[in-house]
């Protein structure tokens, strides 16, 4: 565990030693701040909640999260430091976990910095802060899911652009699986059970459950198993590269 912490700290310090962290945080907060007002009808709805804010998270994460995850392994491979890392006395799992946790913590930090939204809505009315907290947890889990997918693709290539694009596309599939656009099309052609399965695999569906204020076991299991599966996948890919 100590090694995981050491690796995570190094990874995190890498974000802040370069403009990466600041550019990311800046645009993250700009998008997160503008969307609810520009497209979400935050004022027009005249409701004291943050639905117009959280509904954009799955879409914004689509391109913001791959920007964080693409460098996880691809950069190490490109600069050759992966050779240094892998010949140090740390296990593959400590590396995979340390890097993932650093990235997750970083996106968590970005999320926490959106707190003025909470202040604003509390100033304007009396929102259900329990729902807001649940939505934040949901958004954090969602970021973890995306990041784990991104870790897998970053481990597969030394090209960050490829890692970004693959993560984006797979993330899009996960989001769209719950979009009416896809569901309407699926509903007509396959049995209802399949439709339900497709829907339950979607980030949107899982986020909607949590945004209702209920963090149920299914959502936790869903994101938990997605993260674990993708991290194991990252480890396997890295181990395969060793034998290549």
Partner 1 sequence: MIEIKHLTKDFGSLRAVDDVTFNVRRGEVLGFLGPNGAGKSTTMKMLTGFLAPTSGTASIAGHDIENDGMAAKKKLGYLPEGAPAYSDMTPAAFLEFIADIRGLTGDKKKARIAEVVRLVHLEAVLHQSIDTLSKGFKRRVGLAQAILHDPEVLVLDEPTDGLDPNQKHEVRALIRSMAPNKAIVLSTHILEEVEAVCTRAIIIARGKLLFDGTPQELLSRGPLDEVFRNITSTPSRAAVS
- Residues engaged in binding partner 1 (CB under 8 A): 3, 6-7, 10, 13-14, 17-18, 79-81, 83-84, 86-91, 242-244
Residue with Cβ nearer partner 1 (126 or 242): 242
Helix, strand, coil percentages in the chain from 3-state DSSP, rounded to 5: 80, 0, 20
Two structure tokens written together for 84: 């240094």
Least separation in angstroms between CB 195 and partner 1: 44
Residue with Cβ nearer partner 1 (7 or 163): 7
Assign 3-class secondary structure to 62-104. Answer: HHHHHHHHCHHHHHHHHHCHHHHHHCCCCCHHHHHHHHHHHHH
Residue with Cβ nearer partner 1 (16 or 115): 16
Two structure tokens written together for 128: 């259900």
Residue with Cβ nearer partner 1 (10 or 45): 10
Least separation in angstroms between CB 101 and partner 1: 16
Which residues lie closer than 8 Å to 156 by C-beta, 6 or more apart? 163, 166, 237
Least separation in angstroms between CB 229 and partner 1: 24
Least separation in angstroms between CB 243 and partner 1: 4
């Amino acid at each position: 565990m100590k090694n995981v912490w050491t690796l995570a700290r190094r990874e995190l310090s890498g974000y802040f030693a370069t403009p990466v962290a600041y550019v990311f945080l800046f645009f993250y907060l700009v998008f997160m701040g503008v969307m609810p007002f520009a497209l979400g009808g935050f004022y027009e709805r005249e409701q004291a909640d943050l639905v117009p804010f959280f509904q954009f998270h799955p879409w914004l994460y689509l391109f913001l999260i791959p920007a964080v995850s693409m460098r996880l392994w691809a950069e190490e491979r490109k600069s050759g430091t992966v050779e240094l890392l892998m010949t140090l006395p740390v296990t593959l799992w400590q590396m995979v976990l340390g890097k993932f946790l650093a990235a997750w913590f970083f996106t968590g930090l970005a999320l926490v910095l959106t707190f003025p939204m909470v202040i604003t809505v509390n100033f304007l009315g009396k929102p259900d802060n329990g729902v807001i907290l649940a939505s934040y947890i949901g958004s954090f889990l969602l970021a973890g899911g995306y990041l784990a997918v991104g870790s897998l693709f970053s481990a597969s290539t030394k090209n960050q652009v490829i890692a970004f694009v693959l993560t984006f596309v797979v993330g899009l599939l996960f989001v769209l699986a719950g979009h009416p656009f896809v569901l309407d099309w699926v509903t007509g052609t396959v049995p209802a059970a399949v439709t339900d399965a497709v829907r339950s695999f979607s980030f949107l569906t899982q986020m909607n459950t949590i945004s209702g204020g209920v963090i149920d076991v299914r959502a936790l299991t869903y994101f938990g198993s997605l993260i674990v599966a993708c991290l194991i996948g990252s480890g396997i890919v890295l181990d395969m590269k060793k034998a290549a």
